[in-house]
Amino acid sequence: MNFVMPDFFPAAAEIFLLGMACVILLIDLVVGDSKRWLIAMLTQVTLVGCAAITVYTADGQVVLTFNNMFVDDLLADFLKLLVYVSVAVTLIYSRGYLVARALDKAEFYLLALFATLGMMVMISAAHFVTIYLGLELMSLSLYAMVALDRDSARATEAAMKYFVLGAMASGFLLYGMSMLYGATGTLEIGGVAQAIYNGVANEKVLVFGLVFIVSGLAFKLGLVPFHMWIPDVYQGAPTAVTLFIGSAPKLAAFAMTMRLLVYGMFEVAEQWQLMLMVMAVLSMALGNLAAIAQSNLKRMLAYSTISHMGYMLLGLISGVASGDKHFALNAYSAAMYYTVAYVMMSLGTFGTILLLSRAGFEAEHLDDFKGLNQRSPWFAAIMGILMFSMAGVPFFIGFFAKFSVLLAVVDTQNYWLAVTAVFFALIGAYYYLRVVKLMYFDAPTDTAPIKASLDMRLMLSANGLAVALLGIFPQTVMGLCSFALLRSL
């Protein structure tokens, strides 16, 4: 038996991040509480470094390494870059909130980095074990982050729920993977696809495993009926952590879904497509209907996430039905575009909650947004943009996200699905409009001045403007999504 040194180059960003995380861990031992900003700064530097490495190593080729366990393609590079941006923005938004609550510990930043590493591994996974490894690294970090505020009973409860349900989902996923291994004799995603294509896989075992895989994915994406953890975790976790959970992990979950279902099981697409379609409709329905009843903004956004993931699925399930490979790409890139757009809007929305929160006060109730237009017209406009964008009104990015997935659905001649989707979008518009109503039509109850650091203000403004500008000029991101996919399939 001879040991061949693997090619580390495609995984350079991951290795760099791991190294930096260890360095930060050590630095934290020596710096005092007064120098905590240094940790935050180093974390950002790490992310910038990762981005530089990812850009540098991106060559547009599909490169497999570590015995075909790890893949570096344009899809991975693109999604990783988005993850870095999303995590960096999250950390900027979170800092003031964490400082005000004495949660500004190095653990937060380190857990965020490890979670990021987990996402990167998930995104680049070409093997079931790699997927599982990345998923667990991310999930365990997130569980700990939710529980970071040890004295909060609500946060602890949320962490417990998240952990128990998340562990169960991981179990489902593992069980499904073992079934697939039984059916195809390999754990490599490419190998699984090949085995199914060649017809050597046992059909019954394969579909049996697929059911578990889809259930596990649905847990992670938060799709009905596997959505139960989302509202509780979103509401219970400190808002900074909710922001983290609600943004970058969606990109990783999207990548995982792509790798498992599209790359691994394209040949049995008709099977998972049907399951996902049912879940998409249920998610759009339940997410939008339940969100109306919420008075807590974080919980409302949790339900809104569920519905948005339902819309994202519309793209995923439309990729194959037409049978045209070129169009399949278009549908997947629509789903990817939707995810990217959602992450952007989600960042901004939770960012605004963080902006309005201060020491001893969480601006998480809908009523806390009353009269925001009188307190700060600028940030009311930013939040207004985000809400209209989430509701899918042009000229904002959310509209073109909905547009592209709907077009994919209409192309499969599934008109009733399209009508259902727009029907629930209409219902969804109601609760987004309600936030606008509170900000613009009502008088403020809370007149405290808005205090936030300059970097947060600038970032949030940039975030809101990006949602508007990328809605006026949607081509850039749309084009990048389809280009990345085109070069990676």
Residue located via tokens 């070409």? 126
Q: Which CB sits closer to another protein, 175 or 403?
A: 403
Residue 457 interacts with another protein (CB under 8 A): yes or no: no
Give how many residues touch another protein by CB under 8 A: 33
Residue 37 interacts with another protein (CB under 8 A): yes or no: no
Q: Considering only the stretches 6-14, 47-55, 171-179, 437-445, report the one whose residues sit in contact with another protein under the rule CB under 8 A.
A: 437-445
Residue 395 interacts with another protein (CB under 8 A): yes or no: yes
Residue 404 CB, shortest distance to another protein, in Å, is 7
Residue 433 CB, shortest distance to another protein, in Å, is 6
Residue 263 CB, shortest distance to another protein, in Å, is 23
Residue 161 interacts with another protein (CB under 8 A): yes or no: no
* The pair of three-digit structure tokens given for residue 146, joined into one six-digit string: 């939710």
Residue 457 CB, shortest distance to another protein, in Å, is 17
Q: Considering only the stretches 95-103, 205-213, 434-442, 450-458, report the one whose residues sit in contact with another protein under the rule CB under 8 A.
A: 434-442
User: Is the Cα dihedral 213, 218, 220, 225 positive or negative?
Assistant: negative
Single out the residue of 19, 415, 453, 458 in contact with another protein (rule: CB under 8 A). Answer: 415
What is the DSSP annotation of 282-331? HHHHHHHHHHHT--BHHHHHHHHHHHHHHHHHHHHHTTTTT--HHHHHHH
Cα three-residue angle 422-425-430, rounded to 5 degrees = 140
Q: Is the CB of residue 105 less than 8 Å from the CB of residue 144?
A: no
Cα distance between residue 109 and residue 135, in whole Å: 19
Q: Is the CB of residue 398 less than 8 Å from the CB of residue 341?
A: yes
What per-residue string of b and e applies to 67-100 under the rule 16 or more CB within 10 Å gives b? ebbbbbbbbbbbbbbbbbbbbbbbbbbbbbbbeb
Single out the residue of 121, 260, 314, 436 in contact with another protein (rule: CB under 8 A). Answer: 436
What is the DSSP annotation of 60-81? SS-EEETTTTEEE-HHHHHHHH
Single out the residue of 313, 390, 393, 435 in contact with another protein (rule: CB under 8 A). Answer: 393
DSSP reduced 3-state for 188: strand
Residue 167 interacts with another protein (CB under 8 A): yes or no: no
What per-residue string of b and e applies to 195-211 under the rule 16 or more CB within 10 Å gives b? bbeeeebeeeebbbbbb
Q: Which CB sits closer to another protein, 407 or 466?
A: 407
Which residues from 363-382 bind another protein, rule CB under 8 A?
Answer: 373, 377
What is the DSSP annotation of 203-239? HHHHHHHHHHHHHHHHHHHT-TTS-THHHHHHHHS-H
Residue 157 interacts with another protein (CB under 8 A): yes or no: no
Q: Which CB sits closer to another protein, 19 or 377?
A: 377
Residue 482 interacts with another protein (CB under 8 A): yes or no: yes
Q: Which CB sits closer to another protein, 66 or 378?
A: 378
Residue 133 interacts with another protein (CB under 8 A): yes or no: no
Q: Which CB sits closer to another protein, 9 or 416?
A: 416
Q: Which helix (H) or strand (E) holds 454?
A: helix 454-472
Single out the residue of 107, 157, 411, 446 in contact with another protein (rule: CB under 8 A). Answer: 411
Single out the residue of 90, 376, 404, 463 in contact with another protein (rule: CB under 8 A). Answer: 404
Residue 306 CB, shortest distance to another protein, in Å, is 20
* Encoded amino acid at 140, one letter: L
Single out the residue of 268, 440, 461, 489 in contact with another protein (rule: CB under 8 A). Answer: 440
Number of other residues whose CB lies within 10 A of the CB of residue 418: 20
Single out the residue of 64, 223, 474, 484 in contact with another protein (rule: CB under 8 A). Answer: 474
* The pair of three-digit structure tokens given for residue 64, joined into one six-digit string: 């497999």
Residue among 120, 44, 91, 155 nearest 347 (CA) = 91
Which residues are at the interface with another protein (CB under 8 A)?
373, 377, 388, 393-395, 399-400, 403-404, 406-407, 410-411, 415, 418-419, 422-423, 425-426, 429-430, 433, 436-437, 440-441, 474-475, 478-479, 482
